Structure 1
Amino acid sequence: MATIATARGTQVRGEPFFLWSAIAMALVIVAGFSLQLAMGRSSFAASPPLVHAHAIVFMGWVAIYVTQNVLVASGSIALHRRLGWVAAGWIVAMCVLGCAVTLAMVREGRTPFFFTPLQFLILDPVSVFSFAGLSAAAIVLRRQTDWHRRLHFCGMAILMGPAYGRLLPLPLLIPWAYEATFAAVMIFPVVGVIADWRRTGRVHPAWGWGIGVIVLGTLVFVQLLSHSATGVSIYEAVTAGTPGAAIAPLAFPPFPRHP
């Protein structure tokens, strides 16, 4: 048993890929939101408390994810496990706040102009629940470190969509802005597959499950539902009696006007 434990510990500490990838992911997210602020496109200062709570919780997850990878790389497995249970509860708050902010924006008619309102309404909740599903699976498989890390990795990749949306010239990519964002989200998982192949000569099956959830959930399902009568009915039910009801669910909003 001691030999097995030592081997596992060596394997965890001997693969810096996940640590450096976590740091790179965090830097991309910070860069995306920093660019938004630097260019004066952020309304964060005037945003309601709900938006502030959403931002704090989601950025808090970025900090947790990086910290967890640092703890594993340094061999602090006991602390990693204790923080993991805090992270599990954190995911619930992310789902609640992510959906609440999306509903508020759609009802107020303030969805990003490079997505259709219905696309945005479907995309955000599906993305956050896809992230939560992969993270929950990673927690269940926490004793199988190889699965645990890769599933968490794919879940984290999903959360990078908003950051990519602030880095990419999405207004110039209409009507393919969503597809461009999806392609960017796939960058890190594809890099993970390549890293596995180069290191071991094979691709771990966890990548298949993680990438499958990303493709089927955040691309196929979102596109099918946002272009269906069911999706339109959901939009009408969500926006009934609000300013969002006056906005066509499948039309791109006009470009914002600046003074």
Structure 2
Amino acid sequence: MATVAPLTALAPEPTRSRGRPSTMFVWLSALCLLIAVIGFIPTYWAQIAQNTFRGTPLIHLHAIVFTAWPLLLVSQSVLIARGGLRHHRAWGLAGIVLATTMFLVGLATAVVGMEHRIAQGYGDLGRHFLVVPFAAIGGFYGFFIAAIANINRSEWHKRFIIVATASVLQAAMARFFFYAAHGMAAGQRPDSFPPAPVAASLLPIFTLDLIIVGGAVIDWRRGGKVHPAWLWGLGILVPVQLLRVPLSQTDAWMAFADWLTRFT
């Protein structure tokens, strides 16, 4: 597929030599948006509507920027699919600002969340679990940078954007597993329970990897081969996802987690 590039300010005019624009990236972007929004309805959006949510301004900022990203992703994909390259480029600059904001807000929220867990009496569990959001944010921004570095190679660029987005949806996907385990009682949130072990985060994460696998399968079915960007995404993300479990148990990680608390 050569005609849809999600977020870029300077992407070249997409080729239309193979017929009308494909909508694969529109559908992948829409799937990411659905996961991001639906995953947080019971524990955030519904509680906001009912005026039962209690959280800091940082939590609300986190919700805004992490919802804005998949919304922008969908709009950018649709713009390219409809030939709106000029507007796509202009909004791509906003995407760079938004991604950087997400990186900073995501790290700050993760550290504050760990401190909240420590205050609840879950000291080591809270420190261990910090590796999960840190890995998610790191994967997102790493592949976002890769997408920007490939801004003039749209086939790489747009796939790296999807890989980056799949990486950062871990909290939203984990909510579905949380609801399956604990239900959706009014006012219930994950911090009402002890922190989950890091190994429990693997199933939601591997579920999100299916977005990348799906993109690779679509490429293969349509063109007879898998684009290397998907393989790079899985080849980097999966080992990192597996290594977070032993890493979270090391003295070095615990010391790093304690060091981070000095900045809040």
TM-score bucket (shorter structure): 0.7 to 0.9
RMSD of aligned Cα (Å):
3.1
With over 3 angstroms needed to count, the CA separation of the structure-2 counterparts of 1:55 and 1:6, relative to structure 1, is closer
Question: What is the CA distance between 1:90 and its match in structure 2?
Answer: 1.1
Residues 11, 69 of structure 1: alpha-carbon distance in 2 compared, 3 angstrom cutoff? farther
Counterpart for residue 252 of structure 2? 230
Q: CA 1:71–1:11 in 2, change beyond 3 Å: closer, same or farther?
A: farther
Q: Secondary structure at the match of 1:116?
A: helix
Q: 1:88 is aligned with what amino acid?
A: I
State yes or no: 1:216 paired with 2:239: yes
Match of 2:152 in 1: 143
Q: 2:89: which partner in 1?
A: 81
Q: Which residue in 2 is equivalent to 1:160?
A: 169
- How many Å apart are 1:122 and its aligned residue? 1.6
Q: After superposition, what is the alpha-carbon deviation per residue over 1:34-67, rounded to whole angstroms, capped at 9, x for unaligned?
A: 1334886999831111111111111111111111
**1:30-49 aligned within 5 A:** 30-37=37-44, 45-49=53-57
**Which segments of structure 1 move beyond 4 Å, counting only runs of 4 or more?**
10-13, 37-44, 110-113, 170-176
Q: CA shift at 1:22, angstroms? A: 0.8
Corresponding residue number in structure 1 for 2:226: 203
TM-superposed CA distance for 1:148, in Å, is 0.8
Partners in 2 of 1:7 and 1:58 — Cα distance? Answer: 28
CA 38–73 in structure 1, closer or farther in 2 if over 3 Å, else same: closer
Q: Is the 8 A contact 1:26 1:62 kept in 2?
A: yes
| Greater Cα offset, 78-87 or 44-53 | 44-53
Q: Counterpart of 2:141? A: 132
Structure 2 portions without partners, runs of 5+: 1-11, 183-195
What TM-score comes out, normalization by structure 1 length? Answer: 0.80
Q: Does 1:17 align with 2:24?
A: yes
Structure 1 gaps, min length 5: 243-259
Q: Which residue of 1 aligns with 2:33?
A: 26
Contact 2:13 2:85 in 1 (8 A): no
Query: In structure 2, how many angstroms separate the alpha carbons of the residues matched to 1:187 and 1:18?
Result: 15
Distance in 1 (CA, whole Å) between partners of 2:243 and 2:104 is: 21
Residue correspondence of structure 1 range 54-65 to structure 2 within 5 A: 54-65=62-73
On the 8 A contact 2:110/2:130 being kept in 1, the answer is yes
**TM superposition score normalised by structure 2:** 0.78
1:103-114 to 2 correspondence within 5 Å? 103-109=111-117
Q: Distance in 2 between matches of 1:237 and 1:6?
A: 47
Give a deviation string over 1:200-259, Cα, whole Å, max 9, x none: 111110111112232133x1342232021211222333357x9xxxxxxxxxxxxxxxxx
Matched letter for residue 90 of structure 1: L
Q: Which residue of the partner structure matches residue 129 of structure 2?
A: 120
> Do the aligned partners of 1:9 and 1:75 also contact (CA within 8 Å) in 2?
no
Q: Percent identity?
A: 27
Deviations 1:68-111 (A, max 9, x none): 10111111112111111111111111111001111111112279
Counting only pairs closer than 5 Å after superposition, residues 169-184 of structure 1 correspond to structure 2 as 169=178, 172=181, 176-184=199-207
Equivalent residues, number: 236
